Structure 1
Amino acid sequence: MSNYQNYTVVKLLVRLEVMGFDPSLYLRLIANMSQDAKNAYFPNILFMHVIKLGKILRDRTLLNIAPLRKLIELNLNFGNTTRATEIWKLCYKYDSQFAYQNIGLFKRLFLECDKQRKTSLLNEYFPRDLYRHDDLFDLILAFYGQNPQDPQKLSVFEKLAGTISPPISRSLLSSMLQSFLAQGRMKEVELLTKAIIKSQGGLTSSDTDAIVKQLLSKSDFTKAVSLLFQTHISVSKKGLVRIVQYILDKESEGSVPVIDPNNALLEQLQKYVPESDTAIPSAETHNLQQVSLKYNSVLNYAVSELAKLKNDPTRGNFTVIAGRYLTEKYGSGVGRKLFMNRTRQRALGFTFDFAKFGLPKAFVPILKIDETNQATLLQSILQQAQREKDATSIKWCIAELQKSGFLLEDILKDHFESI
């Protein structure tokens, strides 16, 4: 169905509020609207309307049919974890069997939610007897295990870990490794790393990222970069994005991390430094640290490696990090320009000038904004616009999020509820 058809159907139903319709009709309409949809806006409006009318939740058997699963998936496709989570909660509240029949969907929802929503889902909207399900156990174990600062979560981790018995799956080894790294249990980390390296496939990109995260938490920048330098891009990609984020975060704090001058790696990295050109920003506009990022050997090495990736979600994560850095450092207006450049002006031949902001030109080909990350990027711009009290950027962000399928009530709940 086209947006025009969706709009017409929703308007008619909202105006008429036909109480005599079979509830399954509404679900079929939601399913039709969700097919090949460019966003979840109209299906969300229709779903919330019929929920308010009490048409679906009166009959619990209707909760298990495909349209509601499809609507959750559709919202996740466009980064709307708020609405996806709310639909899951409604379904689970009225029939807990919904969770048992949609384990794969819960796994995806859980992976894409922030920590606060993960905790809420596990505590209130998911059966504890499913924690041990083969498709979920490693995921849930890692969540509880990587929160060592929370005694309650750590206690749950210990209880879950105590139920593990051979044979141990490869994915479970990774979950345990990531948990022990977060907890600083290095003896266990060493044993697990050896076991993983001996296993078929070796370390995954998530394993490597967890190791890099632990090294950076101890400010061991040189060791983290050395590890990635010796690793194939398929395994190092997540760690490289973390390195980029670390450099940008530290630069924002006023101190760019550097490689140990006595380490041989320093010389090897020099080949990644671009030659000087006239595009260097003047000292009047940008300070020396900002200028240095353009010629930072580690940053240029990281982006040259990431450029090898084609259709990989890591590029989307990189784009969010770069966009957040520019937005928070230079203002929401710059974030808007980056977003519009990559989604609209790019087709007209305009290129976002990273050199103007002291960053490598090599950032440009890696950037990727699509339905998987545009909501996250827009929310970062919106948060900065709120800090700046920039009404123009706030209105623009809200409009763009609505184009992506977000309901106004979801935007207000996420970003304005505490104001």
Structure 2
Amino acid sequence: MKFAKLIVLICIGSILTSCSGKVPKEPVVTSVPSNSSITPQPASSPKAESDEEGQQPDTLDGKLTVISREEAGLSTIEPLDFSKFSVNKRLIELLANVESYNNEDYKNGIVVGKKILMSNGFMDEEILISERYKDNIINDIKIGTDMDYIKKVLGEPNIKDDRGFIFYKTKEYYLGFKGYSKVEYAILVNREITEDKNILARIVKELDREKDLGEILNSNQELTAFFNESGHINGGGWYANSYLGMEIVQFDSNTITIYNNYEGYLYLAKDFEYDIKYVDNDYQVENAIETIDDYIAENKEFDTSGVLSPSGKLKSTYYWGYSMLHYFKIKTLDNSRPVFRVHVPAGDYRWLTDDYILYLNAWFTEPHIVRVSEDNNEDIDIMYELGVYGDDDSHRPSFNFSIKNIEGNIITLYDSKNNKEYKVEYSIGSNGIEVKMAN
């Protein structure tokens, strides 16, 4: 399967075409199992004609029946021509090459979200324009601009949302704004299109043959390339998502969800273990909204529960997803670099310096010191370093540590299991951090 990424041209200019639509707060879902009452569309009907590249719908020898977008309940939102407008030069550069994103961009208020290495080598990410961004976004529109003025300049958005978002789906990208009266945030993301109109049929065929989504993701590189994100679900099962408008979940129930930005052939399936559902929302828009919401929630978390470093230059929060997903989130208060993560299984913790955090291992309460850097894996097991226990876990004593006190460079740890206190002295030099028993 091939898919093309439309890269924005730096010079943008033509007539704006306006159309209006509305994305409901709760998605409209059309489920089409094999016993659906939808009137099937014969493969030979005009709506199922081959596209201009000569592709024909694949019915898998009668297992699939072609249906129209109208029968599936999917709106068709035509992309707008924004070539008459001028997007900020740096934003255009990031759309074309997100790997050029740097600390200066973040300092200026541009926030790049989750990093996903695409199968074709591109980094495809939403480019969030935050409340700190001072420059123009498109033409003379910037953070703080009246929402009504945006519509006056750009025309009516072709995607609206009652959560305070408007989006312009253009031929090259999506441009979204959040705000009820004035722009609070904006977001840009490249528009994805697929060249394989039969990708849904091919996925159905593989799932019908193999049954296990995880096995397909591990063995079929061509189909895996279609998905932007995929992986194992905690508790069992698998998922796979594509910006091109498709989600697959194999868990308690098996579903394939198709969104209205999907541009391939649509089908009813007969005697198939997955329920095919159609949702009249744009998947790329939903991801963009989630990116903005996550950014707002993360900032609120730092404001309300972030722990200051000794100098007051950094703040930390801790996230525990499940046994294999947990990390510190570190924010520089001068916005000199993006928020970054330090992956350790931490329970209670304290800052030692701006460079080091003392934490108790969430599983066994062993005290550790970790360097606050996403690029450095320096993590010291204090009691191992001091010889309290060695490599052989079977000879480790049973303990239950807590952090009692930190005064100067002396850490006081208490083992309630053995009613024993340890005073540990730490020092930091060119070789990192070192510990020893305090006198």
Tell me the TM-score normalised to structure 1 length. 0.21
TM-score (norm 2): 0.21
Greater radius of gyration (CA): 2
Query: Which structure has the highest strand share of the two?
Result: 2
